[in-house]
Amino acid sequence: MGGADAEVCASRFLARSERSHANRHRGRDPLTESMVLDQLAILVTGVIAVWLTQHKRESWRRWACIFGLLAQPFWFYAAWKAEQWGILAISTLYTYAWARGIWTYWLASERTGSAPNEGNS
Cα separation, 51 vs 103, in Å, equals: 20
Q: Is the CB of residue 67 less than 8 Å from the CB of residue 49?
A: yes
Low-confidence spans in the chain with pLDDT less than 50: 121
Reported pTM: 0.65
Measured between its terminal Cα atoms, the distance across the chain in Å is 68
CB 46 within 8 A of CB 71: yes
Position 77, amino acid: Y
Please state the length of the chain.
121
